[in-house]
Homo-oligomer: A and B are copies of this chain.
Amino acid sequence: MSGPDYGRAFGMWRQAAGADWTAYVDHAFVRQLAGGSLPRASFLHYLRQDYVFLLHFTRCWALVAAKSDRMPEIRAALAIAHGLIHEEMPLHETICAREGIPVTMLASTPESAANMAYTRYVQASGYGGDVLELLAALAPCVLGYGQIGLTHAGSGGPYGEWTATYGGEAYQGLCHQVGALIDEALDARLGPDWPDLPRAATLSQRFADATRLEAAFWQMGLDLA
């Protein structure tokens, strides 16, 4: 299975997730978004749910900082949480405002079942396990968007701003940084041979479960529009 090189763990986990990974990054929602045929209502429905998602996602990265005992991880996780709240959420606000959806309406979006499923899975993995399980559950979102963005960068069309953002240099840089953070987090705790440990199966499971829940999130964008 090919895809961008965001590090060792990502490559392994993506490989193990197999068809589930493809079903996520090559979902009909994504293809329609990149090709421009996605109905506007689907896109806006997705954007609104994603706004609620980002709030919970920010809390998940704050939890990485809370659960880590390594300074560089704490710093990086706080910087990511900061970026989510001060850059990614305002970006959604801007796009939605342009479409006539004010911030107050955005913030009061009722959370869909598919939306809840993903962020609560990440939170439960994080609180129930350790920081590695949390990172494994967070990875499909961060890095999957990177792979999707890279695949469709420059596709233009009505949603060209979206693909340009995730395929752009800044977001791709973040993906490389997060991939390296995950590899270092694993090495620092489990050593370089971590893929041979029984724990590797649990981490791979967190990634695969979260991948399936991400695909369901795209599906929601198509279904509920």
Contact = CB atoms under 8 A, between A and B. Distances in A.
A2 to B, nearest CB: 26
A65 interface: yes
A197 interface: yes
A85 interface: yes
A66 B62 contact: yes
Interface stretch (A32-40, A119-127, A138-146): A119-127
Interface in A149-191: 187-191
A63 B198 CA distance: 22
Interface string A39-79: 00000000000000001001110110111110100110110
Interface string A185-225: 00111110000111100100000010011001000000000
Given A65-B58, A65-B81, A74-B58, A212 B113 contact: yes
B209 A199 contact: no
A181 to B, nearest CB: 15
Contact of A129 (B62, B130, B198): B130
Q: Is the interface of A mostly helix, strand, loop or mixed?
A: helix
A111 B205 CA distance: 11
Contacts of A107: 71
A105 to B, nearest CB: 15
A116 interface: yes
Contacts of A16: none
A198 B55 CA distance: 21
Contacts of A197: 189-191, 197
A110 B52 CA distance: 29
Contact of A199 (B68, B124, B189): B189
A65 to B, nearest CB: 4
A65 B78 CA distance: 10
Contacts of A213: 113, 116
